[in-house]
Amino acid sequence: MLGTVLVAEPGDGESPRPARIIEAMRHACLGGGKRLRPALVLAAARLFGRDDEGVVLAGAALECIHCYSLVHDDLPAMDDDDMRRGRPTVHKAFDEATAILAGDALLTLAFDLIADPRVHADAAVRLAASRDLARASGFGGMAGGQMLDLASEHHDRSEAEIRLLQAMKTGALIRYAARTGARLAGAPGGDIETLTRFGEIIGLAFQLADDLLDVEGDAARLGKAAGKDAAAGKATLVALKGSDWTRAELQRLVGEAEALLASFGARAAPLVALARYVAVRDR
């Protein structure tokens, strides 16, 4: 889906799209990545009986936000990484200015995609999904969490402070994925809240797994450098509480996520599988 929207033909009201920015956006989005967030959107929507190109578009919108964040996070002013998904980062493959612009364009493309009428026939539902996406991505979500993360380097942070910054930096998009899949499929309000909580738990678990991988993972398998958190003095729960505690907490979170979906029975199996995958992933 992302491949088909990243094309040269201008949309209504647009001027021609420069080839270089398209190439950089394609480099950022295609040819790698686990696609966890779109998979969660789809699995949550399927739980409530919806499975069509509209929810794929919503997943693509979320993946655009995620990929933009990786491009900007890799820049020298942030994490300064040369490799991502086993390939040179966008600013290495192109240049810094192009990477900034490609990230900006992916961020705005996300709102083009989520506004597509195929996402939901009811404009009010699309509006709610758009506003949620802005909030998950913005200063009270991912961008704000990244700010807290940078401000926490080489500073002591409590467990509660680390959980908050991680819920914002990483968790907000994962929460959005589960919540939006349910919303777009017309789930009852109580079920949307259950899926939202499921997403919050999976988001925290995802970050704990990421922190463990940074300590214990293999750079070749990860497709990016490992061991960077300790070197940068990052505030992580692995640094505060240790690897054994983190592994146990990860298992506890996955158990909590599974229990939340117990009333859905076998229909929730794909979501449960995603929750378990988050804990055992090696990249």
157 binds ligand GRG, rule: CB under 6 A: no
Find the shortest distance in angstroms from Cβ 36 to ligand GRG. 5
Task: Name the residue type at position 96.
Answer: E
85 binds ligand GRG, rule: CB under 6 A: yes
Q: Which stretch binds ligand GRG (CB under 6 A): 29-37, 117-125, 239-247, 270-278?
A: 29-37
Site string for ligand GRG, 87-126 (x = CB under 6 A): ----------------------------------------
Find the shortest distance in angstroms from Cβ 100 to ligand GRG. 11
DSSP-based helix, strand, coil % in the chain, nearest 5: 70, 0, 30
- Burial class of residue 240, CB neighbours in 10 A (0-12, 13-18, 19+): middle
169 binds ligand GRG, rule: CB under 6 A: yes
- Judged by CB under 6 A, the residue of 72, 91, 120, 157 near ligand GRG is 72
Find the shortest distance in angstroms from Cβ 78 to ligand GRG. 6
183 binds ligand GRG, rule: CB under 6 A: no
Complex with ligand GRG: residue 62 or 129, whichever CB lies closer: 62
- Judged by CB under 6 A, the residue of 44, 48, 64, 69 near ligand GRG is 69
C-beta neighbour count of 136 within 10 angstroms: 24
Task: Name the residue type at position 155.
Answer: H
Give CA separation, 272 vs 66, 141, 250, in Å. Answer: 22, 25, 14
142 binds ligand GRG, rule: CB under 6 A: yes
Complex with ligand GRG: residue 80 or 116, whichever CB lies closer: 80
d(CA 253, CA 22): 39
C-beta neighbour count of 42 within 10 angstroms: 22
170 binds ligand GRG, rule: CB under 6 A: yes
Complex with ligand GRG: residue 144 or 186, whichever CB lies closer: 144
Q: Which two tokens stand for residue 55?
A: 């929810």
Regarding beta strands 87-88 and 83-84, do their DSSP bridges make them parallel or antiparallel, or are they unpaired?
A: antiparallel
Q: Which stretch binds ligand GRG (CB under 6 A): 2-10, 141-149, 183-191, 260-268?
A: 141-149
Q: Which stretch binds ligand GRG (CB under 6 A): 117-125, 139-147, 194-202, 252-260?
A: 139-147
- DSSP per-residue letters across 207-230: HHHHHHHHHH--HHHHTS--SHHH
Query: Are the C-beta atoms of residues 34 and 73 closer than 8 Å to each other?
Result: no
Q: Residue 83: beta bridge partners?
A: 88
d(CA 92, CA 257): 38
267 binds ligand GRG, rule: CB under 6 A: no
C-beta neighbour count of 189 within 10 angstroms: 9
Find the shortest distance in angstroms from Cβ 209 to ligand GRG. 9
Name the site residues for ligand GRG (rule: CB under 6 A).
Answer: 33-34, 36, 69-70, 72-73, 85, 142-143, 146, 169-170, 207, 210
